Amino acid sequence: MNLTRLDEKNEKNTMPPKAQCRAYLRQQAGQVPAEPASLADLIIPDEMTKTKDAPGQPEERFLLYDSANDETYDGGRIVIFSSDWGLEKLALSLHWAADGTFKVSPTLFQQLYTVHATTLGVTVPCVYGLLEDKTELTYRQTFNQIRAAILLRHPDAEGIYGTVITDLERAAMNSFQEVFPEKQCSTCFFHLSQAVWRKLQSLGLQRHYAEDADFAVQVRCLPAIAFLPTADIRAAFQEVVGVLPDECVDLITYFENTFIGRELGGRWRPPLYAPDEWTQYARTLDGLGRTTNAVEGWHRRFAGKAGSHPSTFSLVTQIQAEEAHWRVEIGKVVAGATPRHRSAIWERVSERVTALTRRWRDGDVGTAHFLRGIAHNFTF
C-alpha cells in the first residue's frame, strides 16, 4: 500500500473548496474580487451574502434577493441586501423614506436604492438595493421582494401602513403605491423646490434671483404652495401667478404642467405629480418630516466612505460595514443614549413653518402672506 498517496488523498478530502480558500485569503488581506466585465458575470461571493461578524452580533443572512437566481423575473438585474434586523425595523415603523443615488452606484448598476425606517427618533437605512435601471418593472420587483420578506417574518407588520416619503421619481412612486397600497406615499419638499430651481436656472433667471430679493421670494412662493391642503393649491397657484413678472411665464407653464394640471382644448390635462402627492400640509401639522433630508444626509456621509462609483464588491463590503454600524448606534439609543437630532437652525425653521401653517389653518393669516412667510424660511 502506498501510504504517501493515501495521505495525499485524505488531505484533499479534508481541504476546503478553492473558492472558500480564496475568499478567506482575500478577507485576511482586506481585498475584494475584481469587478466583472458585465452583470452576466456578476456572482456575489459567499462572504458578502452575510452580515459582518462582530462581538454580540454573529453573522447572519444579508443577501435578501438576487434576480440572477429568479427564473420567474425577466427584467433588469436587482441585488437586494437586508438583514432580519433591518426588516424588523421596517416592520415596526409607520414612517419610511426611500431614495436612490447614482454617485455611489457601481458602473454595472444605475443606482443604489435605499429604504429607511424611523425608529426611536432616528432614520435608519434598512434595505440596500442595487438596480440596473429605473423602470417600473424593476422598482415593482424590488418592492415586492421587500414586502414579501417583511410579511414572511412579521405577518402583522404595522410598517406596511403609515407613510413613505420619496424623491420625484414617477416610476418609483407608481410602483410603491402599487405594492404598498396601504401606505400613504408623498414626495419630498426638497426635491420639489430643487425642480423649480433647476428650471429657473435653465431659463437663465438665476442672476435675477440672486440680485433681486423680492423676486426671489416671489419665485419661492411657487413651491411654498406645497404647505397648503390639496383643495386650496390650485387657487393659491393662480394667486402666485398673478404677482410673478412676465419673464416667469415659462417657469409658470412648467410648474403648471408638472405639479398643477391645466385645461387644454376643453379637456383636463393632469400634471405629472398630482397635488395630493406633494402637499406637505398634513405632514407639517402632524409633526412628520417634510423632506428626505435625513436620507440625503446619509447618502452624503455614505458617499464619503464608499467613494464615487466604487466596484460592486467594494460597495457591498461598505454596505456590510454600514449595517453593522447602525446596529451599534441603535443599540446605544436603546440603552439610553440621546439620538442625534437636526441642527438648532433647522429646528427653529421647522417650528416657524409649523406655527405659520397653524395660523393659516386657524384663519389668522391670509394665503398671500402665508406663502411669503413660508418662502422666507427656505432657499434653493
Structural domain of 313: 40-188+291-334
Instruction: Please check whether residue 27 lies inside any domain of the structure.
Output: no
Q: How far apart are CA 228 and CA 24, in angstroms?
A: 58
The CATH number of the domain where 78 resides is what? 3.30.420
Tally Cβ neighbours within 10 Å of residue 84: 16
pLDDT classification of 5: cutoffs 50, 70, 90: very low
Distance of CA 107 to the CA centre of its chain: 20
Question: Mean pLDDT over all residues of the chain?
Answer: 90
pLDDT surpassing 60 at residue 255: yes
pLDDT tens digits, one per residue of 163-211: 999 988 999 999 999 999 999 998 989 889 999 999 999 999 999 999 9
Strand order in the sheet with 184-187: 63-66, 78-81, 122-131, 111-119, 95-101, 163-166, 184-187
Q: Does residue 174 sit in the same domain as residue 61?
A: yes
This prediction has a pTM of 0.84
Q: Does residue 176 sit in the same domain as residue 295?
A: yes
Instruction: Please check whether residue 55 lies inside any domain of the structure.
Output: yes
Share of the chain above pLDDT 90, in %: 75
Q: How far apart are CA 82 and CA 65, in angstroms?
A: 9
Distance of CA 338 to the CA centre of its chain: 24
pLDDT tens digits, one per residue of 334-370: 888 877 765 677 678 888 999 999 999 999 999 999 9
Of the candidates 290, 259, 293, the residue with the CA atom closest to the CA atom of residue 276: 259
Instruction: Please check whether residue 32 lies inside any domain of the structure.
Output: no
Q: Does residue 131 sit in the same domain as residue 248?
A: no
Q: Does residue 242 sit in the same domain as residue 253?
A: yes
pLDDT surpassing 60 at residue 330: yes
Tally Cβ neighbours within 10 Å of residue 199: 17
